[in-house]
Amino acid sequence: MGAQFDISFVFSFLPKLLGTLSTTLLIVACSLLTGIIVGFLVALPRLYKVPVLKTLSEIYISFFRGTPILIQLFLFYYGLPEIMKLVHVDMTRTPVLVFVILTYGLHTGAYMSEMIRASVMAVDKGQVEAAYAAGMTGFQAFTRIVLPQALGIAVPVFSNLIIALLKDTSLAFTLGVMEMSGKAQTLGSLTQHFIETYIALALIYLVISFTIEKLLLVAEHHLLRHEKRNTPEKKLFKINKSWSYRRIIAELGPGKGGTGL
């Protein structure tokens, strides 16, 4: 299958794949933005227990977490134009990228809302009460007291979500978007050097996710600088010293269902 393995092709493919990195990052950035906004809107009814909206947002989260992103991509790509046709909006000329970003945005939004909910709930309720006692309004208490603390708690999950999103974008090729995976497939079939292309592709993804993880680790330390390290040292089963227990739990907690594809 394919031509003889030749490691030099990996290096020659790297720059070619990097040329489409911007598309991948564009998808990631735009859907992340959409995801954060949607996530907030969806998390608020659940946090403040708004009757009907709460149920709706639960259904939304359940659907987007309960179906594979690949199915969602196809569903939106084929379904949205038909639904929009009912309200007389023509979407036949909309670029594919819009559908892709919308789907990834809504998909991440479901996970984002879970992240936001979990991290806000992790902030001690006494903090809010103290803020009220000091005379702050509900909005002030949220933005000045809860949010800064919740941000620090959310960072590990957030970093996992971004990496999961990055990895998910590799599926956009199924709708014909020329991002890195799509480019890799064309390069592979053009040159018949499939293994080398996919090694190059994997390397690029690895470097990006590693960078994102490191950057957000720095952000986490910055955000948690006011936290007193007063948690009693847990005598855990051979605990790996370099990792704090909370981080491991947070990473696996309400994050992406274990596998980010």
Q: How far apart are CA 175 and CA 195, in angstroms?
A: 23
The C-alpha atoms of residue 123 and residue 7 are separated, in whole angstroms, by 51
> With binding defined as CB under 8 A, does residue 1 bind another protein?
yes
The reply on whether position 257 binds another protein by CB under 8 A is: yes
Q: Which of 19, 55, 210, 215 binds another protein (CB under 8 A)?
A: 210
Residue 199 binding another protein, by CB under 8 A: yes
**Cβ of 15: how many Cβ atoms within 10 Å?**
9
**C-alpha–C-alpha distance, residues 172 and 9, integer Å:** 24
Tell me the two tokens of residue 122. 């992790």
Q: Are 113 and 39 within 8 A, CB to CB?
A: yes
Residue 240 as a binder of another protein (CB under 8 A): the answer is yes
CB nearer to another protein: give 146 or 172. 172
Helix ranges (DSSP H) in 122-179: 125-133, 138-140, 147-168
Whole-number minimum distance, CB 67 to another protein, in Å?
5
Tokens, residue 114: 């879970």
Binder among 12, 94, 170, 186 for another protein (CB under 8 A): 170
How far is CA 185 from each of CA 166, 172, 191, 206, rounded to the nearest angstrom?
Answer: 18, 12, 10, 18
- In angstroms, the CA 24 to CA 18 distance is 10
x/- contact string, 74-93, with another protein (CB under 8 A)? xx--xx--xx--x-------
Residues 256 and 162: beta-carbon distance below 8 Å? no
Give the x/- contact pattern for another protein in 99-138, rule: CB under 8 A.
----------------------------------------
Q: Stretches 12-20, 34-42, 57-65, 121-129: which one binds another protein (CB under 8 A)?
A: 57-65
CB of 224 to another protein, least distance (A): 20
Which listed residue (52, 71, 133, 190) binds another protein by CB under 8 A?
A: 71
List interacting residues with another protein (CB under 8 A): 1-2, 5, 62-63, 65-72, 74-75, 78-79, 82-83, 86, 163, 167-168, 170-171, 181, 188, 194-195, 198-199, 201-202, 205-206, 209-210, 234-240, 245, 248-249, 251-252, 256-261
